[in-house]
Amino acid sequence: MFDEWRAATLDNLSRGVLEMKLILAALLPLALAAVAFAQTPEGVSPDAFYQLGPDSLAQEGVPKGRIDGPFVIPSEVWPGTQHTYWVYVPAQYDPEKPTALMVYNDGQAYMHPDADLRAHNVMDNLIHRREIPVMIGVFINPGRRPDQEPSSLTNWGDRTGNRPDEYNTVDDRYARVIVDELLPALQSEYNISDDPDQRGIGGSSSGAIAAFTVAWFRPNQFRKVISMIGTFVNLAGRGGNQYADLVMRHDRKPIRVFLQDGRNDNRGVRRDGVYHQDRDWFYNNVRMARALTEKGYDVNYIWGIGRHSQKQPGAVLPEMMRWMWRDHAVSTDPDDTIERSLNK
Residue 23's pLDDT band, with cuts at 50, 70 and 90, is very low
Gap between the Cα atoms of 78 and 295, Å rounded: 33
Nearest 5 degrees, angle CA 226-CA 228-CA 233? 110
| Amino acid code (one letter) for 126 | L
Torsion angles phi and psi, residue 208, rounded to 5: -75, -45
Gap between the Cα atoms of 230 and 47, Å rounded: 17
3-state secondary structure of 203: strand
Whole-number average pLDDT of the chain: 89
Structure confidence by residue, pLDDT tens digits, 50-59:
999 999 999 9
What pLDDT does 344 receive? 53
Residue 3's pLDDT band, with cuts at 50, 70 and 90, is very low
In total, the chain counts a number of residues equal to 344
3-state secondary structure of 200: strand
Enumerate the H helices of the chain as residue ranges. 2-38, 107-111, 119-128, 163-168, 173-176, 183-187, 206-217, 243-249, 281-294, 311-324
Cut 0.75: pTM above it? yes
Mean pLDDT of the region 128-156: 95
Gap between the Cα atoms of 141 and 107, Å rounded: 5
